[in-house]
Amino acid sequence: MPRWDPEGETRLREAALELFLERGYDSVTVAQITEKAGLTRRTFSRYFADKRDVLFAGSDELPGVIADGIRAANAEASPMDAVLAALDGVAERLATQASIAAQRQAVVRTSPDLQERALTKFAAATDAASAALRDRGVPASTAALLAQVALAIFRTAFSRWLEDPAEASLRDRVHESAVELSGSLSAANVKH
């Protein structure tokens, strides 16, 4: 086994997800994961704190990636354009991860604890997006509204993408969801 293994993280994640789905999340041990991946506990610890971290390591980055994307957007971009540019950035990072993301979602659905952790993650991403919008001069209350809507768009796009990753990219699903929401609001009796 090579000491340096750029594929180690992916192999461990794949092994863990397979085991979680086969045997149930609660009953799987880190030893079983490393054995299945053909890697050591030391390698596991290089990438993950514990077995729950295998599921959430990626989403830990979500708040930072969204916030950075909003801050990095063109200074002239409207707040919602900055949000959509940030979601494009997230979509790009996840572009090749559909299969892992779908398995991960299936595991999370088996456990109320994991679902609650996922909700907390979304709340953290919403807060980060809201703070980044305020940094662009968006008033606090509007920033909070647009941040919540950004996450709603992203979650919708993500579910649609996972249903059929070959049909459209996550990025396309983000734009499709934003267009749909915009259309729903325009069709409503809301004057502005």
Compute the least distance from the CB of residue 65 to a second copy, in Å.
Answer: 20
Structure tokens at 192: 């502005």
| Residue 137 DSSP SS3 | coil
Structure tokens at 29: 């041990």
- E strand or H helix that includes residue 180: helix 170-187
Structure tokens at 39: 């890697």
Quick one: which of 37, 90, 146, 162 contacts a second copy (CB under 8 A)?
146
Nearer to a second copy, 60 or 164 (CB): 164
Is residue 181 within the footprint of a second copy (CB under 8 A)? yes
- Taking residues 105 to 134 in sequence order and writing x for each that binds a second copy by CB under 8 A, - otherwise, the string is -----------x--x---x-----------
Nearer to a second copy, 7 or 167 (CB): 167
Q: Return d(Cα 6, Cα 38) in angstroms, integer.
A: 14
Structure tokens at 74: 């063109």
| Cα distances (Å, whole numbers) of residue 146 to 24, 139, 190 | 37, 11, 17
- For the segment 50-109, give every residue that binds a second copy (CB under 8 A): 78-81, 83-84
Is residue 169 within the footprint of a second copy (CB under 8 A)? no
Q: Would you tell me which residues interact with a second copy (CB under 8 A)?
A: 78-81, 83-84, 116, 119, 123, 141-142, 144-146, 148-149, 151-153, 155-156, 159-160, 175, 177-192
